[in-house]
Structure 1
C-alpha cells in the first residue's frame, strides 16, 4: 500500500524534539520553535526524508538506498528538520508570481533557499495511491485553512528528469475552508493517471496570509 513509513505524526514530533537536541551542535534548527505543518500522507518530499532517515541521517547507505533524500540532507539538513515550515507569507493569492515554474517544490526558494533541494528531479520515493485518495495534512499549530488547491502532474511530465512547473500541472480541486485542527483530511478524486506523478498542494492557512507549497511523490499503479 503506502511505501512511506507513515508513523503517527504526534509520535514523530516527539522524536523530532529529542533528535533536535541531540544534533543541535551540528544542525541549526531555524524556526523549530514555531512549527506549522505539511502533507504527511502521501508524504511530502521533505517529510518523507525526515520520516525515513531522521533518526539515521548520517548513514551513508542512504546515498544508494534513497539518493534523492541523500542529496537533500547533504544540501541542507534543515529542510528536513523543518519539514513543517515550507511557506511564504503575504502572497495575496498570486501563487504563480510568488513561486515561479521550476521552484514549486521549494515554495519559490522559500526561507532563503532552505528547501531548494526539493526541486531536484529524480526518483523520489513514492506513495502508492488509487484514483480516489485522501491527503492528510498534519498541522501542529492548528492554523486551519482558507482553502487548499490540489494539482496532479500531467501524464506528459517526467518528475525524474525535470523540475516541476505550473505548465506541468492539472488542477484537480479547490476546497472550501477548514476549521483549526491538527489533522485535516482532503478527499481527492481523479481519473486517467497511472505510474509516477507529483501531487502539488497549496495550503492557504487561516490565521494570516501564509501559504504552503507541498510536493508529494505518488504512484497511481
Structure 2
C-alpha cells in the first residue's frame, strides 16, 4: 500500500513539474501566436510540403519562425533574418546556391500574400519587404540587400486577425530572382514572426 501511495505522489509531483515548466516556456516565448506564409510559398512552408529537403526541424513547425520584433532597426541580426536568429532553423538562412524552390510572379502586378495563422494574436502590423536590384543572391540575407521601405504595410492596432489572412500588394518592377521578407509584428509580446519567400520576377 505504501509503495502505491508513494508512486502516486511521485507521479503527481512529476506532472506538476512538467506543467509548471510548460507554463514558464509559453509565458517566456509568447508561444500562443504562430503563422507562416502560403502565398508566396515561404521557405518554411516549402519544407513542410517536402518540396525542399534537408530542412531540419522547420519542416514540422513552419509557424515557429519567431524572433525579437522591431525590424528594421531591431529584430534578428543580419544573415539570420530568415531563421529569426533561431539556431534550429538556420537552414532557412542558407541561400543554397539558388536551389530553393521559387514562386513565379509578374513584375508590377497585384498580388495576394496569404498567411496561415495556427494561433492568432493581438497584432501591430504586417509588413512586406523585397530585395533591391543587384542584391547578392549567393549571400545570406541582410538589411543592406533589402529595400527597407516596405512595399506595403497593414496596421492592425492591436486587433486579432483571423486564422487565414490575405493582403493585397503591388509587386515592384523587378526582374529575375528576388526575396520577399514578410514580418508579422505581435502587439502584446516582444516578438514578431518572419518568413522568407524566393521569387522569380517575369
TM-score normalised to structure 1 length: 0.67
| Residues 32 and 121, structure 2, Cα contact 8 Å, conserved in 1 | no
Q: Distance in 2 between matches of 1:96 and 1:176?
A: 18
Quick one: structure 1 residues 117 and 96, their matched pair in 2 at CA, closer, same or farther if it must change by over 3 Å? farther
- Once the two structures are superposed, residues 53-98 of structure 1 have per-residue CA deviations (whole angstroms, 9 ceiling, x without a partner) of 1xxxxxxxxxxxx6xx3332xxx2x111011011025x4x255443
Q: How many equivalent pairs are there?
A: 166
| Residues 34 and 193, structure 2, Cα contact 8 Å, conserved in 1 | no
Whether 2:126 is the aligned partner of 1:148: answer yes
What's the Cα RMSD here?
A: 2.3
Whether 2:62 is the aligned partner of 1:83: answer yes
The match for 1:136 is: 114
Q: Distance in 2 between matches of 1:213 and 1:116?
A: 13
Q: What 5-or-longer segments of structure 2 have no aligned partner?
A: 1-25
Q: CA deviation at 1:164?
A: 0.6
- Once the two structures are superposed, residues 29-60 of structure 1 have per-residue CA deviations (whole angstroms, 9 ceiling, x without a partner) of xx9x9672111111110111211x1xxxxxxx
Quick one: structure 1 residues 106 and 168, their matched pair in 2 at CA, closer, same or farther if it must change by over 3 Å? same
Quick one: structure 1 residues 163 and 94, their matched pair in 2 at CA, closer, same or farther if it must change by over 3 Å? closer
Higher-Rg structure is 2
Q: Distance in 1 between matches of 2:141 and 2:73?
A: 12
The runs of 4+ residues in structure 1 deviating greater than 6 Å are none
Q: What 5-or-longer segments of structure 1 have no aligned partner?
A: 1-30, 54-65
- SS of the equivalent of 1:118 reads helix
TM-score normalised to structure 2 length: 0.73
Whichever structure has more strand as a proportion of its residues is 2
Q: Distance in 1 between matches of 2:144 and 2:160?
A: 31
| Residues 33 and 120, structure 2, Cα contact 8 Å, conserved in 1 | no
Q: Distance in 1 between matches of 2:115 and 2:47?
A: 16
Quick one: structure 1 residues 81 and 35, their matched pair in 2 at CA, closer, same or farther if it must change by over 3 Å? farther
| Residues 32 and 120, structure 2, Cα contact 8 Å, conserved in 1 | no
